Amino acid sequence: MNTQLKGTIAETIKKEHLGLRERGLPEHSYFEVEFADNSKAHEREHNWSDISEEVLVKSMGRVKAVRLCKHPLKKISISHAGQTVTLEVPPKHRAYQAIIAESVLIPNQGTVNHIIGRIVGLVNENGEVVEERSINGLTGEVFGFKN
């Protein structure tokens, strides 16, 4: 059942007809966002690429490429392998999230591709990352920093 209010941000964004698995994701790995108008979007129905743009930001003294949400957010959550991280998005800040994956050249086995975890972060109006959290699905740990 569609519980979104008509005319909300969530209603205006493109819907994805493929499920998480069909897009190569495990069922336990997804993002959820609550927009400024209280409408919500979940990765089961949406792609982050459709609501974000690639932007270069500053993080720990380096340049980092992230995909920032184009719409105003109240909060963003990432879940992976049973762990969930939620960040409130302050005024004048934008959020990014991404899947962390790995391709490994393994002796006598070939190349193995797998998803390791998720990452989420906040960027201030100066284009600086002020908070970042990542879920490592291999160790079950959550890492990150807050400036």
Partner 1 sequence: MLAPDITFRNVSSPWDPITPPLTYVQTVAGVQLPVLQGTQSDIQAIRIYNNFACNPNVSNALNVHITTWDGAGAASHTASTLVPSQHWLHVYEYGYGENSVNTVDVFTAFNGTDTAVGGTQQYLIEHASDVGDLTPTIRAYSNNSGYGYVHVITYLNVPSNAPATTLLWATSVSYEYTT
SS3 65: strand
Q: Is residue 142 a contact residue for partner 1 (CB under 8 A)?
A: no
Return the sign of the alpha-carbon dihedral for residues 62, 131, 118, 141.
positive
The smaller minimum CB distance to partner 1, of residues 39 and 134, is found at 134
Q: Scanning residues 48 to 77, which ones bind partner 1 (CB under 8 A)?
A: 48-49, 52, 54, 56, 62-67
Whether the CB-CB separation of 103 and 113 falls below 8 Å is answered with yes
SS3 48: helix
- The minimum distance between CB 98 and partner 1, in angstroms, equals 4
The smaller minimum CB distance to partner 1, of residues 46 and 93, is found at 46
The smaller minimum CB distance to partner 1, of residues 6 and 17, is found at 17
- The minimum distance between CB 133 and partner 1, in angstroms, equals 13
Nearest partner of 25 among 95, 138, 116, 86, judged by Cα = 116
